[in-house]
Amino acid sequence: MDEQPSDIQVCEDCLAPAEAFSVVASETRLRILEALWNTPDKPVTFSELRRAVEMDDSAQFNYHLGKLTGQFVKKVEAGYVFRYAGEKVVRAVLEGSFNQDPELPPFEIDGSCIDCGGGLEARYAEELMTIECGECRHRHGQYAFPPGGLNDRSRAEILDAFNQRVRHLHCLAADGVCPECGGRMGSEIVREPRKLELDIGVVHRCSQCRHEIRSAVGLRLLDQSDVVSFYREQGIDLPATPYWRLGWCVSNDFATVLSEDPWRIRLRMPVDGEELRMTVDGDLDVVSVERRRETREAMDSPRSTAPDTA
């Protein structure tokens, strides 16, 4: 692994976390950030920002803008632009993390339970979207989803957005990048991962902010080229297929632990008599790819056919 560049300049006058939060704990400063966000042409001049905030007292406005400048906004020759932290504050407000707590009662969705074949349902509460069987309550996924993701969307659109978000966050985490802070993220295969109804799974953990994502092993392979091509040959658009309809993404029935030292896990992906077998190592890298006709035993196993993509 390459060493960290020696020419990275560390901030010597950075704000302490408590002080940073106190800076934006002001209605006026939040209005300034919102005005900067809503102004299409940037940089934005001092006078333009003050008019947008509708603040007559120039000295008072200058005081509040000065508090934001440096950590949340940056002054350039033509006016003011966002720093990353400033955009994060506005986005957090827009997504509803600071001021919304909506709930969505359980509703039926397409697909069948991998365990009992019962119907699936989705529900949203406490900023979590849950997919589970309406009969046996087997959970097919539960992940954080910002409240703002529910705005101006039908139930079908919410589910599609949730599916795409889960896919992208897990792929980013498996590639070693924390989706929350951009820090270094490591992946570990574990037995009986907490909060998952699986006997084996993956924990992605950020060394910087300690953010964690837990998943089945199969989620790492949703965008793998061999897997996407295999499903395409079967007439299935894998990127458009909700992950909870794919048995190898939500159940260990399709995973076989070949060894633990080193880790070797084989996932089988059966579709209409054809079967793709992918073996991954402890870093979730693919070490072998095999394709074969399904055995009769596999074809008779629950939910081993192609997912319903209608």
Q: How confident is the model at residue 40 (pLDDT cuts 50, 70, 90)?
A: confident
Mean pLDDT, rounded, of the chain: 83
pLDDT digits (tens, 9 = 90+) for 103-128: 899 999 999 998 899 999 999 998 89
Note the pLDDT of residue 6. Answer: 45
- Give dist(CA 303, CA 116) in Å, integer: 9
Phi, psi of 111 (to 5 degrees): 120, 165
Q: How confident is the model at residue 9 (pLDDT cuts 50, 70, 90)?
A: very low
pLDDT (average), residues 251-274: 91
Tokens of 297: 């035993």
**Per-domain boundaries in the chain:** 17-95, 220-299
pLDDT (average), residues 159-178: 91
Q: Which of 93-97, 146-150, 158-162, 270-274 has the lowest mean pLDDT?
A: 93-97
Q: Is 217 helix (H, G, I), strand (E, B) or coil?
A: helix
Q: Which of 28-37, 162-171, 192-201, 224-233 has the lowest mean pLDDT?
A: 192-201
pLDDT at 96 over 70: no
Q: How confident is the model at residue 297 (pLDDT cuts 50, 70, 90)?
A: low
- Give dist(CA 162, CA 196) in Å, integer: 18
- Give dist(CA 19, CA 72) in Å, integer: 12
pLDDT (average), residues 248-277: 91
Percentage of residues of the chain with pLDDT beyond 70: 82
Cβ-based neighbours of 194, under 8 Å, separated by 6 or more: 214
Note the pLDDT of residue 10. Answer: 43
Note the pLDDT of residue 308. Answer: 39
Question: 108 - beta bridge partners?
Answer: 121
Note the pLDDT of residue 7. Answer: 46
Q: How confident is the model at residue 302 (pLDDT cuts 50, 70, 90)?
A: very low
Note the pLDDT of residue 1. Answer: 45
Q: How confident is the model at residue 276 (pLDDT cuts 50, 70, 90)?
A: very high
pLDDT digits (tens, 9 = 90+) for 222-259: 999 999 999 999 999 999 999 999 999 988 889 999 99
pLDDT digits (tens, 9 = 90+) for 124-140: 998 899 999 999 998 89
Pick one of 1.10.10.10, 3.40.190.10, 3.90.1580.10, 1.10.3720.10 as the CATH number of 17-95. 1.10.10.10
pLDDT at 66 over 60: yes
Residue whose pair of structure tokens reads 């920002």 in the numeric block = 49
Alpha helical stretches, state H, the chain: 17-24, 27-38, 46-53, 58-68, 84-95, 155-174, 225-233, 247-250, 296-299
